[in-house]
Structure 1
Amino acid sequence: MSFDLAVWFESGRVSAADATRTYVRLCEKDRAGAGVVENEGVDAFHRELTGRFPELSSTADDGPEVESSPWAAGLDVSAAHVIMPMSWSRADETAPEVVALAGRHGLVCFDPQAQVLHRPPAQRGTDALGLQPCVGLRVEDADPDVIERAVGRLSAENWFLILERSDGHFLQVGHGPNAGVSEGGFAVEHREGSPEHHYRCVLSERGQVAALFADYASGTTAWSVDARWDSLF
C-alpha cells in the first residue's frame, strides 16, 4: 500500500469533493470524465520532480535503487496530470516537497488519504486558514469540511491540531494525556494577538471541539460552546 498524491491544473477554485471525483476518474483512466486539461505546468512539474526524485527503472527490484527512492511504483503521467505512489516510510519527507512544487507551477495537489486539496498560492484567499495536524500534511487554505474531518481524526497518535490565521492568531486542540488532560478529553487554546489574550479550556466532547473550530473558521466572535476559558497570561 502506498501514500499517493495527484497533481493537475484547475483554472479556478474547486472543492475537495470535486477533487475527489476527479481523482477517482483519473485512477480509472478516464481522463475525459475527470475533466482535466493539458497544461504546460504539468510537464514542467514532472521534469523538475523527476530531476529531484528519478522514476524507478522498469528493471528495479528490491535493491539500492528502490531503497533510495521515495516511489513505491511507477508514476502515472499524462500531459494533464501526474499521480505519484510513495512509500509510506518516505512520505513525510517527500510529500511536502511535492505539494510545494505543484504550487510553484500553479497546479493543485490532491491528497486522497485525507481528502484534502492543496491549492496553489494564486487560488488562496487573503483570509486563508492554515491547518497543521499532528499527523499528515499542513494545509495552507483549509475549507470547513477539511477542518471538520481533521477534528474527527484526532486520536492518541494524532493528538493535536492547529488552525492559524495569517495575522498569527490561532485556535489549537490537544487530545488526551499528551495534552495534559484525561483520556478522551480535549484541551483547547485560542490566542488573539498579544500573550494576555491567550486562553484555554478543557472539553469532554469531540462535537464541542468541532463547533469551536467551525466558529473560528467562519470568523465569528461568538463562541458556540459554553466553557470556562482560563487566561494563560
Structure 2
Amino acid sequence: MSYDMAFWQETQEIDAAGAYQKYDAMTDGESGVSTESAGVKDFCAAVLKSYPDLTVENAETSPWTSAVYCNGECVIVTIAWSRKNELVDALTSLAQRHSLLAYDPQKEEVHR
C-alpha cells in the first residue's frame, strides 16, 4: 500500500477539485498540465538528495514504492505506507520552500 503526493508550481489560486483534475491529468501522463519550472526541478533534486530514488539495492529501506516521477512540470511520489507520517510533512515543508503546491489526493487537500 502506498500514499501518493504531487507537487507543482501553481500561479493562481486552486481548490482541491481543480488540483485533483490536474493531478489526474498528470498521472495519466499528459504534458502541458502545468508550466515547467526550475522550482520543480530543484525540488526534485532536493527530494532525491534526502531520500534516494527506489533501486533494486535499496528496495528494503527506500521510502518509495515506485520511482520518483519528475518531468519538469511536476513531481509525483508514491510513499510506502509505513513511512507516510515521516515524509508527508517533510515533503510539504520542502515544497513550500520551493514555492510549490503540494497536493494530497488521499485527503483531497492542497497545501501552499
State the TM bucket, normalised to the shorter chain: over 0.9
- One-letter amino acid of the structure 2 residue matched with residue 108 of structure 1: L
Give the number of equivalent residue pairs.
112
- One-letter amino acid of the structure 2 residue matched with residue 79 of structure 1: G
TM-score by length of 1: 0.47
Q: Does 1:53 align with 2:51?
A: yes
Q: Does 1:110 align with 2:108?
A: no
What is the 5 A alignment of 1:1-233? Answer: 1-32=1-32, 35-57=33-55, 60=56, 65-119=58-112
Identity value in percent: 32
In the alignment, which residue of structure 2 is the partner of 1:125? none
Distance 1:95 1:6 in 2: 11
C-alpha displacement of 1:67: 2.3
Kept in 1, the 8 Å contact 2:41–2:70? The answer is no
Structure 1: 5+ residue stretches without partners: 120-233
C-alpha displacement of 1:56: 1.3
Distance 1:54 1:79 in 2: 18
TM-score by length of 2: 0.95
RMSD over aligned Cα atoms: 1.1
Q: Secondary structure at the match of 1:85?
A: strand
Q: Secondary structure at the match of 2:78?
A: strand
- One-letter amino acid of the structure 2 residue matched with residue 115 of structure 1: E
Q: Which runs of 4+ in 1 moved over 4 A?
A: none
